[in-house]
Amino acid sequence: MRPNFAPLEADAVELLTEETGIDFRRIDFRQPHWFCITKRRDDGSLMGVLACEFKTWFDVHFTCAIVDQGFMSARLLRVIFTALFSKAVRVTALVSPGNERAIKQMRRLGFVYEGFLRKGVEGHRDALIFGMLREDCRFLPGVQAQLPPQPFPLGETRHGLHS
- How do residues 33-48 score in pLDDT, each as one tens digit? 999 999 999 999 999 9
- Across residues 147-151, what is the average pLDDT? 58
| Distance of alpha carbon 9 from alpha carbon 96, whole angstroms | 25
Give me the domains of the chain, ranges plus CATH numbers: 3-136 (3.40.630.30)
- How do residues 127-140 score in pLDDT, each as one tens digit? 999 999 999 999 99
Full-model pTM:
0.85
